[in-house]
Amino acid sequence: MKTNKIFLHLGLFIITFITTTFAGAEWAAGQSSTYEFSVLVSKGLPYAISIMFFLSVHEFGHYFAAKYHKVETTLPYYIPFPPISGFLNFGTMGAVIKTKSAIRNNKAMFDIGAAGPIAGFIASLIILIYGFTHLPTVDYLLTIHPDYFDPKYGKGIISLKFGDTLLFSLIKNIFTNSKDFIPPMSEVYHYPYLCVGWFGLFVTAMNMIPVGQLDGGHIVYSMFGEKKHEGIASVSLIALIILGVSSYILEFMNSGIAFGWSGWLIWSAVLYFFIKVKHPPVEKFEKLDFKRMILGYFSLLILLLSFAPSPFILAI
């Protein structure tokens, strides 16, 4: 690989590490604009290290699978996103690798597609388990919100709440006990490891939606072929649109029920117009072996466990 390319990848990594450090400080400390050095170190760094760990594990899962199948590919391109006050972001828009030679059969397509989300899923599990087994006392939250136990806390202001998932809830129940102060989903983002672990599940679920050339699309296409993939992809896209529309309908009706997320409509448009619903064919298609099929079903289980119908909930 050319030296200038290596410096590009390294430069993007460093810039993304910096932007995620600032984003982590903002999420954890609840402040913006200026950051004390102590806040960046104590709260920004754990977040940044965790999120870069997750992104790297996910992308290098793809990378090493591609190398195994002798598919030429780039190193990960990390995508920084500077924290903007009042704008929901995690300091990064993720990371991607780019294949530079064709993937000629569905077995290679499956391995490359599945390696990333499975590796990233395991990384998220590690981060979440560490977060829940190293929860600080309630004093940690009180330094951010001294009025947390005041009956008037949160009244009359718009608050953000992360949507729960089956896996997040399961890990919380297994690795915490009654003596721990367990933050509600409306405060989880103040805890760097829980925030990144949740983010990892969210990103994994988005990539595992079985549409087009998303990781989930690669997996389902490789498992079942073009016709079944197209049917599954179409149903998945319709489901996302329904979730997006539902959020608007429930908000218009002032029902007080949080179900769906308007962002799913944006993601649906991205999938339909840019990523496409259909998966492009490969030169050679053959039935996957038993081990790959088991891994494929496991990856679909990851989608089920990690998916939040309402990932971001704004409430007053």
Query: Average pLDDT, stretch 91-104?
Result: 94
Residues 244 and 260: their CA atoms lie apart, in Å, by 6
Q: Is the pLDDT of residue 261 over 70?
A: yes
Pair of tokens at residue 174? 């297994």
For the chain, what percent of residues have pLDDT higher than 90? 79
| DSSP at 99 | B
Instruction: Please give the full DSSP string across 201-264, using - where no structure is assigned.
Output: HHHHHHHHS-STTSHHHHHHHHHH-HHHHHHHHHHHHHHHHHHHHHHHHHHHTT-----S-THH
**Residue 132 in 3-state DSSP?**
helix
Q: Examine the pLDDT at 18 and tell me if it is beyond 80.
A: yes
Vertex 78: Cα angle to 313 and 50 (nearest 5):
60
- The answer on pLDDT for 31 being more than 70 is no
pLDDT at 33 over 60: no
Rounded distance between C-alpha atoms, residue 51 and residue 79, angstroms: 12
Local structure of residue 134 (DSSP, 8 states): T
249/253: higher pLDDT = 249
What confidence tier does 152 reach under pLDDT thresholds 50, 70, 90?
confident
Band (pLDDT 50/70/90 cuts) for residue 258 is confident
Domain segments of the chain as ranges? 3-315
Q: 3-state class of 315 per DSSP? A: strand
Q: What is the pLDDT of residue 32?
A: 53
Mean predicted confidence (pLDDT) in 202-222: 97
- Give pLDDT, residue 316: 65
